[in-house]
Structure 1
Amino acid sequence: MSLDLVIVGCGGHGREVLGIVRAVNAAATGGPVWRVLGFVDDGPSEVNLKRVRRLEVPYLGGTARLGEQPAGTHLALGIGDPAARRSVDQRLTAYRLPAAVLVHPDATVGPDTVYGEGLIVFPGARVTTNVTLGRHVHLNQNSAVAHDCALGDHVSVNPLGAVSGDCQLGDGVLIGAGAVVLQRLRVGAGATVGAGACVVRDVPASAVVKGVPAR
C-alpha cells in the first residue's frame, strides 16, 4: 500500500522533489511507494502555482493544512536553502509527521551509510561508504560524498559539488554547485562554500568562502 506524502514548498526545488517521487514510484516493482497528496507553501508565487498545476498535483494551501492530513502522512521538505529548511523543519515538528527518505533510482548510496529522517538524494548523486548524513540532508544532482564523511543536519551539496573522503560538514552547511572540499577537512556549521570553489583548508563556522583556493 502506498504511503501518503506532502511536499513542503512548491518552488523549483520542491517540484524537483516531485520528480524524484515519481521516479521512485516508476521503479518500484510492487506498485507505487508514495501517494502525493499535494504541495503546501506559505507564500507561493503565481508562477509557481501555475507550474504546480501543470504537474497535475494540487496545491493544498499553507503549512497549517498539515494539521488536516491523515495520520502517518510523510513530509518532504522541498526547500533548497539550508537555513530556511532548518527553520521550516523546526516549525513543522509540532505536527508530529514523519519525514520521507527519498533516493532517486539513478543515485547510489553505498554500504555502511547512516542517515536521518528527510534525506533526499537527487539523480546522479553518489555516496560511497561509511558515511553519516544528518536530518534533512539534500544531495543534489550529480553531487558526490566520499568515504568516511559526516554531514550534519540540513546540509546541502548542490549540483556537481564533491566532498572528498574523511570530511566533516557541520549543521546547515551549503556546498555550492561545482565546489570541491578536499580530503580530511572540516567545514563549520552554517558555512557556505561558493560555486566552483576548491576548499583546501578548514572553514570556520558561518564563514563564506569562494574561489580557487577558497578564501
Structure 2
Amino acid sequence: MIGASGFGREVLDVVDALVAAGTRPGLRLVGVVDDAPSAENLARLARRGAAYLGTLEDWLGRDDGSAYVVGIGDPGVRGRVVTRCDEAGRPALTLVHPTATAGFGVRHGAGTVVCAGVQVSTEVVLGRHVHLNPNATVGHDSVLGDLVSVNPGAIVSGACVIGDGSLIGAGSVVLQQRRVGAGAVVGAAACVTRDVAPGATVRGVPAR
C-alpha cells in the first residue's frame, strides 16, 4: 500500500475488512510505502502492525511480485505515483469494502478503492485509481475518469461525467447530467448545477 497518511490508513481498513470477510482469498498486506512518512504516521502504522517498507523506489527495487494500491488523496500526486509503478510493471490492485453496494453492470478500473458505506448505482463506470471515500454516492450511468477522488459523503448524481484527476469535495453534490472537467476541484459542500470547466475550482451553492 502506497501512502501512510490519513487516506492510506483508511485503505488499510478496507484491506482488513476484506480479509475478515474472507471474500478475497490470498489477500495479504505486505506493508506500507511512503517517501516521507511523519513520525506520527509511522507510530500509527506500528500500532496496527503494518510494516513500513521504505520509499517507493525501495519497494520497486524489491522483486517480491506484490501488487499495489495507492492511498494518496491528491489526484495529481497519485497520478505521478501510478505512472512510476506502471513504468516498473507493477500490477494494480482494486479494493471494494464489503459494506459498499453496487448496482448492475458497474465496472471498476484497476487500482480503484471503494470505502465503507459507498453506494454505486447501476451501469456506472469507474476509471483507473479512482477513490470513493466513505459514504460517497455515485448515481446511475455516471462515468468517472482515471484518478478521480470523490470525498466523504459527496454525491455524484445520475448520468454525470467526471473528468480525469478531478476532486469532488466532502459533502458536495453534482446534479444529474452535469460534466466536471479534467483536473477540476469541487469544494466541500458545494452544489454543482452547471458544467465545470477543466482545471476550474468551484465553491458554494450554486457552485461558481
TM range (shorter): over 0.9
Q: 2-side partners of 1:62 and 1:27: how far apart? A: 30
Q: Report if the CA contact (8 A) 1:100-1:118 is conserved.
A: yes
Q: 1-side partners of 2:108 and 2:117: how far apart? A: 18
**CA deviation map 1:59-94 (0-9, x unaligned):** 0100112220412x1101010111111111112212
Write the letter of the residue equivalent to 2:32: F
Matched, 1:9 2:3: yes
How many pairs does the alignment contain? Answer: 207
Q: Which residue of 1 aligns with 2:182?
A: 189
% identical equivalent positions: 54
Q: Report if the CA contact (8 A) 1:85-1:154 is conserved.
A: yes
Compute the TM-score of the two structures, normalised by the length of structure 2: 0.97
Q: Report if the CA contact (8 A) 1:121-1:140 is conserved.
A: yes
Q: 1-side partners of 2:158 and 2:13: how far apart? A: 29
Q: Which residue of 2 aligns with 1:177?
A: 170
Provide runs of 4+ in structure 1 moved above 2 Å. Answer: none
User: What pairs up with 1:9-158 in 2 under 5 angstroms?
Assistant: 9-28=3-22, 32-64=25-57, 65-71=59-65, 73-158=66-151
Report SS of the residue matched to 2:204.
Answer: coil
Q: Report if the CA contact (8 A) 1:67-1:95 is conserved.
A: no
> Over aligned residue pairs, what C-alpha RMSD do you find?
1.1
Q: 1-side partners of 2:191 and 2:44: how far apart? A: 35
Compute the TM-score of the two structures, normalised by the length of structure 1: 0.93
Structure 1 residue 97: Cα displacement: 1.3
Matched, 1:159 2:121: no
Unaligned runs of 5+ in 2: none
Q: 1-side partners of 2:63 and 2:69: how far apart? A: 14
Q: Which has the higher strand share?
A: 1
Unaligned runs of 5+ in 1: 1-6
